[in-house]
Amino acid sequence: MDGNGRWAEARGLPRVRGHEHGVEPVRMCIRESARRGIAALTLYAFSSENWQRPETEVDSLMGLFFDALVNELPELHANQVRLRFIGDRNRLSLPLRERMQVAEHQTAGNRGLRLQVAVSYGGRDELVRAARALAAAVQRGELQAGDIDEAQIAAVLDLAGLPEPDLFIRTGGEQRISNFLLWHLAYTELYFTPVLWPDFDAGAFDAALQHYAGRQRRFGLTGTQAAGQDG
């Protein structure tokens, strides 16, 4: 969800105003995903690298995130959204961690859209945490090192239990994945748009889905083989 700061600066506003205006596109994506029957949606809200930003901006982002949790949770719960947070929570404040835990617990039994919000998340950090978890299991005698395979690794990653992502959308014009879901995006279709996040509306979301609909997903097969499987 890139471009909040640039959107604000182009209007002579503080960067935090861009983050505030970025809340509505979040709501839109959740509503549209639920309406279209999309099973899972993961939003990259705050990266492990974002901690390097000015302290005032980080504090504003954390405050905005906390307020959004308080304000949006009733509607999410009423619409059967199951909320989960991924990333390293150790650097987050205790009140925010507690609010996140409450939200996860309250929505754990919901059967609708599975919504993941990445906070203090980095793809490399996720892989390090997964490696440590598997190493600890080997040390405890619960697992043999030679038995570690892709399935074992996937089971200890932050998105364990979810299907691999079909579509990656990045707004703001940059064409890179910026340390997001490094393991999971191996065969994901990538879509980049110059639209800044606060301007990302239902039409822009639909354009991304239409792009995905026109792709042939081959997973290493030839186009003829993939077409045969699709048929």
Residues annotated as catalytic (active site), given as ranges: 2, 50
Concatenated DSSP letters of the chain = ---HHHHHHTTT--HHHHHHHTHHHHHHHHHHHHHTT--EEEEEEEEGGGGGS-HHHHHHHHHHHHHHHHHHHHHHHHTTPEEEEES-GGGS-HHHHHHHHHHHHHHTT--S-EEEEEEEE-HHHHHHHHHHHHHHHHHTTSS-GGG--HHHHHHTSTTTTSPPPSEEEE-SS--S-TTSSTTTTTTPEEEE----GGG--HHHHHHHHHHHHT----TTS-HHHHHHHH-
